[in-house]
């Protein structure tokens, strides 16, 4: 497994290195739309044939492009993106998980919103909990969720000990909770507490922050 991960990492490094040059990045951008001959690429990029050949060799060595002969004129070649050329450019390895657990201090706003948003973006189950649960979910969290078509649970906030499972993929969305539990081995998102300002703008900012982070994480997790 470690050898496979190292090999995948080396492939990602090679691709990123190949795309570090603006001209090669532009070539890949063009090829995402369709196949192009070297002469067509030359015309589009305004570069000499020798320089284009150098860039294409670099992209080929990184496994990002391939060449094929034209069926009409066998002297002509077309450059195309290799299968899987763009795979691995986005950060991270895919993790297999059974459930996602979002944790904050009071389980009154951030973790509640995160679990609700997760349910919209992923089929993997999600729950939330707090290290020091409040008596009720914050009104501001309920309001911002309702504005975006989400409904938070009617149940009172729950303590982490009541909810946590051994196989949970844990995400702390609160600095206090993360620093209180250094042995939790959680992914951490440093999301400001909207209850400190306790106004609609604060909850809206929290919602957008969580929505963006969940949109980035959800594709990287798969059901175990």
| 134-182 pLDDT per residue, tens | 999 999 999 999 999 999 998 999 999 999 999 999 999 999 999 999 8
- The average pLDDT across 70-87 equals 89
pLDDT at 216 over 50: yes
Name the phi and psi angles at 197, rounded to 5: -95, -35
Q: Residue 62 and residue 18: Cα distance in Å, rounded? A: 7
Domain range 95-223, CATH class: alpha beta
**Mean pLDDT rounded to a whole number for the chain:** 93
pLDDT at 84 over 90: no
Q: What are the residues facing 187 on neighbouring strands?
A: 171
Question: What are the tens digits of pLDDT across the range 190-202?
Answer: 999 999 999 999 9
Coil/strand/helix, residue 208: helix
Residue 1's pLDDT band (boundaries 50, 70, 90)?
A: very low
Question: What are the tens digits of pLDDT across the range 20-62?
Answer: 999 999 999 999 989 899 999 999 999 999 999 999 999 999 9
Q: Residue 153 and residue 164: Cα distance in Å, rounded? A: 17
**Strand intervals (E) in the chain:** 65-69, 77-81, 95-97, 100-104, 126-130, 169-172, 187-188, 221-223
Q: Residue 18 and residue 55: Cα distance in Å, rounded? A: 9
pLDDT over 70 for what percent of the chain? 96
- pTM (2 decimals)? 0.72
Q: Residue 213 and residue 202: Cα distance in Å, rounded? A: 17
pLDDT at 89 over 70: yes
Residue 121's pLDDT band (boundaries 50, 70, 90)?
A: very high
CATH code given to domain 2-81 = 1.10.10.10
For the chain, the domains span: 2-81, 95-223
Residue 92's pLDDT band (boundaries 50, 70, 90)?
A: low
Taking CA atoms, 93 is separated from 79, 88, 89, 119, 214, in Å, by 29, 8, 11, 21, 16
Contact predicate 130/111, CB 8 Å: yes
- Fold: same for 2-81 and 95-223: no
Residue with tokens 């303590």: 159
Q: What are the residues facing 77 on neighbouring strands?
A: 69
pLDDT at 2 over 50: yes
Contact predicate 215/121, CB 8 Å: yes
């Amino acid at each position: 497994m470690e050898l496979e991960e190292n090999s995948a990492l080396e492939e990602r490094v090679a691709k990123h290195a190949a795309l570090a040059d603006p001209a090669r990045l532009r070539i890949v951008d063009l090829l995402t739309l369709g196949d192009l001959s070297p002469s067509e690429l030359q015309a589009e990029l305004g570069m000499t044939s020798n320089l284009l050949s150098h860039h294409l060799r670099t992209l080929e060595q990184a496994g990002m492009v391939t060449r094929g002969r034209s069926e009409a004129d066998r002297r002509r070649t077309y450059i195309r993106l290799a299968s899987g050329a763009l795979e691995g450019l986005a950060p991270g390895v895919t993790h297999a998980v059974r459930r996602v657990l979002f944790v904050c201090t009071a389980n009154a706003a951030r973790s509640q919103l995160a679990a609700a948003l997760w349910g919209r973006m992923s089929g993997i189950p999600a729950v939330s909990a707090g290290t020091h649960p409040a008596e009720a979910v914050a009104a501001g969290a309920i309001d911002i969720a309702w504005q975006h078509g989400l409904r938070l649970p009617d149940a009172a906030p729950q303590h982490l000990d009541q909810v946590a499972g051994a196989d949970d993929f844990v995400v702390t969305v609160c600095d206090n909770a993360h620093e209180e539990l250094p042995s939790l081995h959680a992914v951490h998102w440093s999301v400001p507490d909207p209850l400190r300002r306790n106004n609609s703008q604060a909850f809206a900012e929290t919602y957008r922050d969580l929505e963006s982070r969940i949109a980035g994480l959800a594709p990287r997790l798969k059901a175990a």
